[in-house]
């Protein structure tokens, strides 16, 4: 075991164990079964539903038997992203962990600390015999990262608690009291194909080397979006010479800022010099533009196999225009919380099909209205471009509540144990707290967690020392909840 010598030992034991079980969104059955068996072996009442959600009940410890119950909540699934050169099948391969100083990382893939560390905390608390706590209702949901279908289909009548600790935040010393609404937008552009004709030379245009990141938590950093950069480069080249697009692609997950994108373009061989000149002229412009946010941006244009068919000229122009005009990045900033994004959208995945080119985006907003305003931009553009659009997997906002009772209790305990005030904030990422607040009227929620960085990318890492500090705080805070 790689993590066996690190504290808290049982937390890291469980984290390493579940890292051996593939658990991408939609593939949670094995990890859900594993934890259900764990609960059964402990003699704990547990409920596992058809969505692979788990609710595990543990009685309060001595002196806490009649205390109000508390929900501990996290999600089972993880975002599956990897570097292009890494051979890894997320359906069958375990996450390969390694320690880098104070951080746990994965070899070329996402780590899954989002939200595996919450699962590990909960498992350690469920098995513990020496930690004082009120009755616990541990809720571990499925499919959080791909639409929150687990939480949306949870039987909330099984829950009696009206206080909840969500463990899906990633900044030590900060308590979250609000999160964004979100949706998945699918923009499908009908396409027409034709023979290449005079466009007999084909080139592959690739965008790579970008940092990527969480489409909510990192969107304000203005990192490069590979799909948008691809569109910019296609547009610049097309200003100098007629091109035909034969296929495009990019991104892996709608909730991750895409790090790579590509297009195959066919040109008239007599225009080769103009195309190469346009590419080479604008390449340094792009690299300079992203020199701070994405210094490793790579742009490449090289010969490819001849295209068998290409988009018609108007279809290609429509595609480039759509990619340039779809809302991407920060759309507005919060007036309530300094430096917090209020509305955004991420162009996350670009796919070529026989009859359509599909562009998947994720609008987010501090309120449902913020999100709807971004959706309106997408639908208006779709109407102009003749594209079809749909909005799927909507998740509600968790309204910022600085007057939360559980927030004040945890803040007070933090001040007592740390000697300073924690940050109280909201986040632009989506948390399942919005669904819980809608389904359980009057529920009082706080969210926190250890330091995690670069979520939804292969650079994801989890601080060992912060994990220990957060564990000590969580155990102590639960002991205060009589």
Catalytic residues: 77, 144
Q: Whose structure tokens read 């038997």?
A: 65
Q: Is 91 helix (H, G, I), strand (E, B) or coil?
A: coil
Are 427 and 177 in contact by the 8 Å Cβ rule? The answer is no
Q: Within 13 Å of residue 344, how many CA atoms lie on the same side as its CB?
A: 28
Longest dimension (CA), the chain: 85
Q: Whose structure tokens read 């164990």?
A: 17
Q: What crossing angle do the helices spanning 313-325 and 226-240 adopt, rounded to 10°?
A: 140
DSSP label at residue 233: H
Closest residue by Cα to residue 395 from 362, 418, 357, 417: 362
The two three-digit tokens of residue 153, written as one number? 């289909």
- 143 sits in the region (left: phi over 0; alpha: psi -120 to 50; else beta) called left
Indicate the helix (H) or strand (E) that contains 375. helix 368-385
Residues contacting 260, CB < 8 A, separation 6+: 84, 206, 207, 208, 210, 226, 250, 251
User: In this structure, how many other beta carbons lie within 10 angstroms of the beta carbon of residue 93?
Assistant: 13
Instruction: Supply φ then ψ for residue 452, to 5 degrees.
Output: -130, 145
Terminal Cα distance for the chain, rounded: 37
> Rounded to an integer, what distance in angstroms lies between the CA atom of residue 230 and that of residue 304?
17
């Amino acid at each position: 075991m790689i993590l066996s010598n690190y504290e808290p030992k049982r937390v890291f034991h469980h984290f390493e164990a579940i890292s051996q079980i593939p658990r991408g969104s939609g593939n949670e059955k094995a990890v859900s079964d594993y934890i259900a068996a764990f609960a059964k072996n402990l003699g704990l009442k547990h409920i596992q539903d058809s969505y692979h959600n788990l609710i595990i009940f543990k009685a309060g410890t001595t002196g806490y038997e009649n205390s109000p119950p508390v929900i501990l909540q996290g999600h089972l699934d993880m975002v599956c992203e990897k570097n292009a050169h890494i051979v890894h099948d997320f359906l069958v391969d375990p996450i390969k962990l390694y320690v880098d100083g104070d951080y746990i990382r994965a070899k070329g893939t996402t780590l899954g600390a989002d939200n595996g560390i919450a699962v590990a905390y909960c498992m350690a608390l469920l098995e513990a015999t020496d930690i004082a706590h009120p009755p616990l209702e541990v809720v571990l949901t499925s499919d959080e990262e791909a639409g929150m279908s687990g939480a949306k289909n949870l039987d909330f009548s099984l829950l009696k608690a009206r206080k909840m600790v969500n463990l899906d935040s990633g900044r030590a010393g900060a308590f979250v009291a609000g999160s964004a609404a979100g949706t998945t937008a699918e923009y499908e552009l009908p396409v027409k194909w034709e023979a290449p004709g005079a466009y007999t030379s084909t080139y592959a245009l690739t965008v790579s080397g970008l940092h990527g990141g969480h489409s909510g938590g990192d969107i304000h950093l203005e990192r490069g979006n590979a799909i948008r950069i691809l569109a910019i480069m296609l547009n610049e080249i097309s200003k100098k010479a007629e091109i035909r697009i034969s296929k495009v692609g990019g991104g892996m997950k709608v909730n991750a800022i895409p790090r790579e994108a590509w297009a195959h373009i066919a040109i008239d061989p007599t225009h080769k010099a103009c195309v190469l000149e346009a590419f080479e002229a604008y390449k340094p412009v792009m690299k300079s533009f992203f020199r701070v946010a994405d210094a490793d941006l790579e742009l490449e244009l090289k010969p490819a196999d001849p295209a068998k068919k290409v988009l018609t000229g108007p279809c290609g122009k429509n595609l480039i225009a759509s990619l340039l005009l779809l809302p991407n990045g920060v759309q507005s900033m919060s007036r309530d919380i300094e430096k917090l994004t209020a509305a955004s959208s991420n162009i996350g995945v670009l796919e070529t099909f026989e009859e359509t080119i599909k562009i998947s985006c994720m609008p987010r907003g501090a309120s449902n209205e913020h999100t709807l305003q971004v959706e309106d931009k997408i639908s208006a553009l779709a109407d102009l471009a003749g594209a079809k659009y749909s909005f799927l997997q909507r998740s509600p906002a968790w309204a910022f509540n600085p007057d939360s009772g559980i927030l004040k209790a945890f803040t007070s305990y933090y001040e007592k144990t740390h000697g300073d005030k924690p940050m109280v904030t909201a986040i632009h990422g989506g948390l399942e707290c919005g669904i819980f607040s809608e389904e359980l009227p009057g529920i009082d929620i706080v969210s926190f967690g250890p330091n995690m960085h670069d979520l939804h990318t292969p650079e994801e890492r989890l601080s060992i020392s912060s994990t220990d500090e957060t564990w000590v705080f969580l155990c102590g805070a639960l002991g205060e909840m009589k």
